[in-house]
Amino acid sequence: MKLLTTLSLTALALTCAIGGAQATELFSSTPEVHVALPLGANQGQLASLLSKQGYDGIHLSAVAATPANPHPETNASLTAHPEQTPLRLGWNGVASKNGQQVQVYVDN
């Protein structure tokens, strides 16, 4: 009986430790920057505004992220001409500030 109690307490402790690590991962957040620009503006204007605010490493994508293509900003053909790409509400790409990458969203 004593062995069973010890094993049960050990299993409970391991379950709590593993569960705690997973819960921490669930609550971590991705840094974001939200920019308000009028519809009709283009991603070149967004990149210029972000640059003036101290962002660098700006990669804006011509297409939105999808489950099939979660990082379109890494495709050079989708980021080549921001001045020709209209803004869309929501996610537009990524940028960095002070060494931290942020997701770039456009709101209106």
Residues 74 and 84 in one domain: yes
Q: Domain of 57?
A: 32-107
Query: How many domains in the chain?
Result: 2
Tell me: do 15 and 60 sit in the same domain.
no
Give the model confidence (pLDDT) of 52-62 as tens digits: 999 999 999 99
pTM above 0.75, yes or no: no
If asked whether residues 5 and 37 sit together in one domain, one would say no
What confidence tens digit (pLDDT) does each residue in 7-44 have?
A: 444 444 444 444 545 555 556 688 999 999 987 899 99
- Listing DSSP states for the chain in one string gives -HHHHHHHHHHHHHHHHHHHHHHHHHT----EEEEE--BTBBHHHHHHHHHHTT-EEEEE-SS---SSSS-GGG-HHHHS-GGGSBP-SEEEEEEEETTEEEEEEEE-
Do 44 and 81 lie in one domain? The reply is yes
